């Protein structure tokens, strides 16, 4: 039974160390990302464009552009 207390205290100690490291890194701005949100809108439209399968669809797109 005493090993459970040792392992429990050891795991709480490790969890506390990781929590403190996380808080310090957040305060220092390690997780701030100012570049990605401004560029994300440029890459959203990079979907695979399907080619028109019939000549009717291509004629519709030509008529819309005129």
CA of residue 25 relative to chain centroid, distance: 18
Residues 6+ apart with CB under 8 A from 49: none
Question: pTM (2 decimals)?
Answer: 0.50
Tokens standing for residue 57 = 């669809």
The pLDDT of residue 7 is above 80: yes
What pLDDT does residue 48 have? 55
What pLDDT does residue 38 have? 74
The pLDDT of residue 2 is above 80: yes
Percent of all residues in the chain with a pLDDT value above 90, rounded to a whole number? 41
């Amino acid at each position: 039974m005493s090993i459970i207390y040792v392992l429990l205290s050891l795991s709480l100690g490790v969890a506390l160390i990781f929590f403190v490291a996380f808080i310090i890194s957040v305060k220092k701005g390690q997780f701030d990302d100012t570049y990605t949100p401004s560029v994300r809108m440029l890459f959203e439209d990079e979907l695979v464009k399907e080619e028109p399968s019939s000549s009717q669809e291509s004629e519709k797109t030509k008529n819309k552009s005129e």
